Amino acid sequence: MRGLLERLQASRFVVIGGAIAILLAAIGAILGLPVESVPDISPRQVLVSVVAPGLATEEVERLITFPIETSMAGIPGMNDLRSVSRSGVSVVYVQFDDDTDIDLDRTRVNERIQQARSLISVPGLSINMGPLATGMGEIMQVQIRGPHQSLMDLNRLMNWVVVPQLKLVPGVVDVNVNGGAEETYQVAIDQARLTAYGLSVSEIYRAVDANNAASGGGWIEHHAEQQIVVGRGLIRSLDDFAALPVRQNPDGTAIRLRDIGRVAMGPRTRLGAVTRDGKG
């Protein structure tokens, strides 16, 4: 021990320099610590959501939530599986251990989503994964107002102008829109006209679904040029929607959507409300 102390004393400048280097390294490490005023303590999880308009809570649980939960069971690293089933909405929370890779977790969940599609008997559903963010990731809430703007106008402005610009900001994963009124094309069917034409409501649904579409027709050669053939049947205006053919008569005339009811623009049926400072 005495010999060690003598050697340290003889090399005191080296010892002092080493101590100063260790001190500076410690200060740099302290300054680089990720200290947050509100630390993220949320679990590592992946959200799977499905929107099923028209289904009651019991049908959502039995036909959608249960098949998804069955498909998610057994994913490596998963420690909890929770779900919420409501009228028209199913949300499944897949929670993982903290030492797992969230990107790998999302890949595995996406693989199980493909399996779940074959187990769900409800047609036309879209199964979506939530954004790569946690419950503590929300940083700001903003509101747009206009004294002479309707809720549909504000909703259109938010979804088509504001939200795309916000998603271009570096670090922004997703933008959630609440409130407003979603603009839709609506038809109020006149039962007397429906009976007079011998139509059913299911025929109206099929006609609207089949006519609002676009398709490709290959290509043709014309004057040594290749010209693309396309079929454009997408609805672009309220007049296009009103002119949709529902049935073709034997004489060649068509029964159109405007012939069986009143066609107009209107808001989608709201499932909730958003307020600010107690005001709607």
Q: What is the mean pLDDT of residues 17-21?
A: 86
Q: How far is CA 111 from CA 71, 77, 91, 103, 108, in A?
A: 9, 15, 17, 13, 5
Query: Across residues 236-251, what is the average pLDDT?
Result: 87
| pLDDT tier at 230, thresholds 50, 70, 90 | confident
Q: What tens digit of pLDDT does each residue of 216-227 get?
A: 778 888 888 888
The single residue listed with the structure tokens 């999302």 is 106
Mean of all residue pLDDT scores within the chain: 85
Q: Check whether residue 108 and residue 175 sit in a common domain.
A: no
Which tens digit of pLDDT belongs to each residue from 70-126?
999 889 999 999 999 988 899 999 999 988 888 999 999 999 998 898 888 888 788
Domain membership of residue 210 (yes or no) is yes
User: Does residue 39 have a pLDDT over 70?
Assistant: no
Q: What is the CATH number of the domain that holds 56?
A: 3.30.70.1430
* Residues of the domain holding 188: 184-267
Q: 44 with 137: CB under 8 angstroms?
A: no
Residue 262 falls inside a structural domain = yes
Number of structural domains (the chain) is 4
86 lies in a domain?
yes
**In the structure encoding, which two tokens stand for residue 105, read together?**
């977790």
Residues 101 and 177 in one domain: no
Task: Note whether 169 and 196 are same-domain residues.
Answer: no
Q: What is the pLDDT of residue 61?
A: 92
pLDDT at 146 over 70: yes
Name 51's Cβ contacts closer than 8 Å, sequence gap at least 6.
88, 89, 125, 126
Q: How far, in Å, CA of 106 to CA of 230, rounded?
A: 37
Same domain for 52 and 124? Answer: yes
Is 136 part of a structural domain of the chain? no
User: Is residue 219 domain-shared with residue 259, that is, in the same domain?
Assistant: yes
The answer as to whether 141 is a domain residue is no
